[in-house]
Structure 1
Amino acid sequence: MRLARYRGREVARINRAVSQLEVPHAVWKTCPWQPRERVELGLRQWLRCAGAALRDRQVIGMPSRAVDEAWHGLILCTARYARFCDAAYGQFLHHHPEGGAPKEVTSAAGSMVDQFGRTIVAWSMVAQPGEPCALWDLDQHVGVEHPWGVPAEQVGAVLAEVAARCDRPSAAQ
């Protein structure tokens, strides 16, 4: 899982753009699940994770069908979405559905387990201290019939690996 730590000002720029994003009513036309506030929280958390991954040219997995549908709705608001991407990331965040990425986007070719692993790593980079992640089991909480998600065991294992790598002295030290 190759996601490097990135500078605080980049995190601040992404967080500012995500918090200022006005989610238009059109987003909810394809995303019927309630409460919307929870789905919107998941969308905002995922957009923050995407910023960490995009900087390192990585593709992360989408752990929530409800958030995926909300993101699709946002993408369809093309002018608003393009402005958001420019403000948050300085570039466009493309959607690479399974099997739809160009060959040069090699990180999209990995398994969903790998992509979810990168999502978990990205969350560890952008989460505020003590901030819980709504993404891992969001679908179960909003009534998605066939929920997606990331098992708590996988989240714990990846976070333990991240912590272990952070505790190891680097070769440069």
Structure 2
Amino acid sequence: MWRRRADLIDRANAAAAGVELPSAVYKTCPWQPRALIETGLRQWLRCCAPALRDGQVIGMPSRAVDEAWHGFILCTARYSAFCKDAYGRYLHHHPEGGAPDDIAGVNDPLDEQLGRTVVAWALVAGPDEHCVLWDLDEKVGVDHPWRIDRQRVAAIQAAVTTLGRERQNRTAPSTRAQ
């Protein structure tokens, strides 16, 4: 089962890295540098893989990336093809108050959803890969930026690392001599 889970994340990582993002994606996203926003969008799309897999709703930590994602969604054929390649199904956008009531976690406080985003990043990130999502809006000059406090990110990442180590210790075969 763990191999299958890793395959799903690898698939989304590859699709996010390879998708062509046309200039139409940025029509309502005027902030610069565009390359930073593109990096954020690709990271966000990668975070969505474990969230979809696990039936979780994650929060969007960046207004600039949210605008770029909206632009990508409006490129309907390209976005639909990306979703199929990355996730095997369509990734719907559920703005606040717009989701069906039967979606688990959609009405959770934003703080909880953002916490799940940090967990999702921990699952998709490469070794020593830096996430730009947490303070991207401040870096590109968004008025009223969205963000996650760096200390909270660090605390969640430490907890995920600890849980991962504990799981490995429980499942590792014993090396004790018999």
Deviation at 1:11, TM superposition (A): 2.0
Report % sequence identity: 56
Match of 1:158 in 2: 156
CA–CA separation in structure 2 for the residues paired with 1:144 and 1:55: 31
CA–CA separation in structure 2 for the residues paired with 1:115 and 1:168: 24
How large is the Cα RMSD of the aligned pairs?
Answer: 1.8
- CA distance 1:131–1:76, shift in 2 (3 Å): same
Determine if the alignment matches structure 1 residue 12 to structure 2 residue 10: yes
Q: Give the one of 32, 35, 39 matched to 2:33.
A: 35
Match of 1:69 in 2: 67
Deviation at 1:160, TM superposition (A): 1.7
Q: Deviations over 1:102-144 (max 9, x none)?
A: 1110211111111001000000000000000000000010010
Question: TM-score, normalized by length of structure 1?
Answer: 0.92
**Which amino acid counterpart does residue 159 of structure 1 have in structure 2?**
Q
> Bigger radius of gyration, 1 or 2?
2
CA–CA separation in structure 1 for the residues paired with 2:66 and 2:85: 21
CA–CA separation in structure 2 for the residues paired with 1:169 and 1:14: 24
Match of 2:174 in 1: none
Structure 2: 5+ residue runs without aligned partners?
A: 172-178
Deviation at 1:7, TM superposition (A): 2.6
Deviation at 1:99, TM superposition (A): 1.6
Moved more, 30-39 or 103-112: 103-112
Structure 1 residue runs of 4+, over 6 Å off? Answer: none
Question: TM-score, normalized by length of structure 2?
Answer: 0.90
CA–CA separation in structure 2 for the residues paired with 1:77 and 1:114: 30
**Which amino acid counterpart does residue 122 of structure 1 have in structure 2?**
A
Contact conserved, 1:5 with 1:125, CA < 8 A, in 2? no
Deviation at 1:6, TM superposition (A): 6.2
CA–CA separation in structure 2 for the residues paired with 1:104 and 1:123: 25
Determine if the alignment matches structure 1 residue 51 to structure 2 residue 49: yes
CA–CA separation in structure 1 for the residues paired with 2:78 and 2:87: 14
CA–CA separation in structure 2 for the residues paired with 1:169 and 1:128: 19
Q: Give the one of 141, 146, 149 matched to 1:148.
A: 146
CA–CA separation in structure 2 for the residues paired with 1:146 and 1:23: 26
